Structure 1
Amino acid sequence: MPAVPLPRRAGRRTNLGLLALLLIAGGTGVLAFGVGTSLPSRLVVAAHGAAGLGLLLLVPWKAVVVRRSRTRTRGRRDPASAWALAGLVALTVATGVLHTVAGPAIAAAGIAVLQVHVGVGVGTGALLLVHVVGGRQRPRRSDASRRALLQTGGLAVGAAALWAAVEGGLRLTGAPGGRRLGTGSHERGTGDPAAMPVTQWFTDAVPDDAGDVLELVAGGRTTRLRARDLDRGDTASAVLDCTGGWYAEQEWRGVRLDRLLAGLDLPDGGSVDVVSVTGYRRRLPLADAGSLLLATHAAGRSLSAGHGAPVRLVAPGRRGFWWVKWVRRVEVVDAPWWLQPPFPLR
C-alpha cells in the first residue's frame, strides 16, 4: 500500500516551527550573555535549553518533508547550504547538550565545549539567514489560524517537558550537569581561587601593568587611593558566575563601596561607573553600593593578575562580566545605570 502523502501545509508548518525554535534559541543565547542578574538569567537559559531540545521533536517530521522534497526533485542536486545548515544545527545542539551534561570537563587545546557551541551557533545563525532569504516564503493568514496556534502551543509544551525531563534525569543520575547553577554554569574552584579559570570578556585582556592607584570621583572631588589601603576587612561571600560556563564561590575581602562614599554629596538615583585600567567599564545603581565590594583578596589570598589584581569589583547577584577587573577608576554619575550598552563594548 502506498504511503499516505504528508499535506503540503504540514511541511510548511514544520519549517515554520523549526525557524521559530531556531530564532528563540539564538535570541536567548545572545541574551544569556547580556542579562546580568540571576533570576532573569535563569529564565533565559531555561528558554534557550527548551528551544534547542525542542528542535529534536520536529526531526521526524522534517525527515518526511526532506524525503518528499527529494522525490519531487529527483535528478537534481540537493542544495549544499541546506545540508550545511542541518549539520551546523545538529552540532550546535550536540555541543549544547555536552556542556549541559559535563561542562568544563570536556575541552581540547584549551577550548571549552561551550566556546565551540557559541561559535557554531553564530555560524548557524548566519547560514539560517541565507537559507530563509533564499526560501522566499511569505507569511500567510493560515499561519495564525486557531489550529496553527494550538500546534505552536503543543510544540512549546513538548519542548518545555523535554527540557524538564533532561534536567530531572541529570539530577537523578548524579551527573555533573545536575549540580550546575540555573544559569547553566558548572562549579570550578570554590574556595580555591587558583583553580578558577582565568577568563575575561572577549574584547578585554590581562594588562601588563594594572598599577596600584585607584581614583574615586564623587561629590565634586577626586581621591586617589593605594590598592593596599583598600583592604579594610570588609568581606562578602559571593558567587562569581561567569558567562564562560563556570562558577565559584569565594570569601572576598576588601572595602564596601558605601564605606568609601560615606559622607559625600551623592545624587539621588545616581549610578557608579567602575572602570578598568584596560578601559572596560560597567555602570551599576548607586543604591547597590552597600552590597558592592572592591576586593583585594579571595579566600584569604591576594588576587592574582589573572583574577583582577590589585583590585576587582565584586557584584553579588550579577553575572561575571559585571565584576570589573583591574579597577582604576570609580566615579559617581548623575545618570541611570541602565543607560549603557547591554554588552560591554571593550
Structure 2
Amino acid sequence: MELFYVRFYVLLLLLFSLKGISQETLPIYQDYLSDNVYLLHPSAAGIGNTSKLRFTSRQQWAGIPDAPSLQTLSFHSRFGEYSNGAYGLVLFNDKNGFHSQKGFQGSYAYHLPMSDGKIFNQLSFGLAFTLVQNQSDQRSFTGDAAVSSIIESTSYYNSDFSVAYHLRGLSSYFTIKNLLLTPKNNLNLQEPLDLRNYIVSLGYYFDKNRFGQDLFVQFEPSIMLQFKQGTGERVADFNLKAYKDFYKTQLWAAISYRRNFDVNAIENAQYLTPIIGINYKNLMFSYTYTNQMNETVLTNSGFHQISLGINLWTREPRAAGSPNLNQLWF
C-alpha cells in the first residue's frame, strides 16, 4: 500500500509540475544536442554527409518507482548520394507512471542547395507523420470496484512540418509540431486538444579558422525556443557546445540551461544539463545529466541519459559546415 501511495504521488506531481513536457507527442529534452537534431526537426533528416542511426535511453529520478523513462531509436538518410530527398524513422517508448505511449514517426525531407557547393548554403523542408498508442495500466489499482484491473489503450495520429536554412556555420530551424487538433489521450477527456508546439532553433558554429587563426577548440552557441499554443507556455534553451578533434576522434561537451515561462505556474521549472560525448570513427557515445534547479524538487538524483550512434555510408564533406552536418571522414 505504501508503494501505491508513492506511485500516486509521483503521478500527481508529473501531471501538475511537468504538464508541459507530458503533453508532447514525443517529449522534448536535450537529445538534439547529442548529435540528434532530427528528433526535434524533421527537416534535419539526411541533412549531412552521413546516414545516422541513434539510440537514446533516458531515466528521470533514479530510485523513484514508476518515474518517467524514454527510449528512442531513430534513423535518417538520403535516398541516394546525389539525391536531394531524404527520409527518417523514429520508434519511441515513453513511460510515465501508470501511463505509457509507444509511437512510430516517419518523415520526408527535401534539401535545396542554394549555391555551387563551395560554401554550405541550403534550404530544407520536412514533413513527419506520427502514430501513437496510449496505454493506461490499471492492473495495480485495488480497493475500488469501479476501476477494472485491465490495460486500457487507444491510438491517435498527428503530423509535424519543418523548415531549415543553413549558411556556412549558421543553422536555423522552424518546426510546427502536432499540426492536427486531435486528442492526445482519449482516456483523459480533460486533456486539451490543442497540442501545437512552435519551435525555433538558431546556432552558429565557429570553426578553427573562423577568426583568421587556429582555435584550440571549436564552439557552437545555440538557442531553442518553444511556444505551446494550448497552454501558452514558453520554454527557452540556452546552449553552448565545444569540440576538439584528434586523430580519428572528436571529443565534445555541451552545457544547456532550460527555463520554463508559464504564467499559471507557482514556480517555473529550471534545468541545467551538462553533456559529454565522443565520436570515434563512425561511432558515437554521449552521457547527459539533467539537474532541476528549483527549490521544490521530488529528488536530487537528477535525470540520466545515454546516447549511442553509428554513422553509415559517410561521404566526404562537400562544403564547410557544423559537425552536425559534416561528420568525421576517413
TM-score (normalised: structure 2)? 0.25
Q: Between Structure 1 and Structure 2, which shows a larger proportion of helix residues?
A: 1
Q: Which of the two has higher C-alpha Rg?
A: 1
TM-score (normalised: structure 1)? 0.24
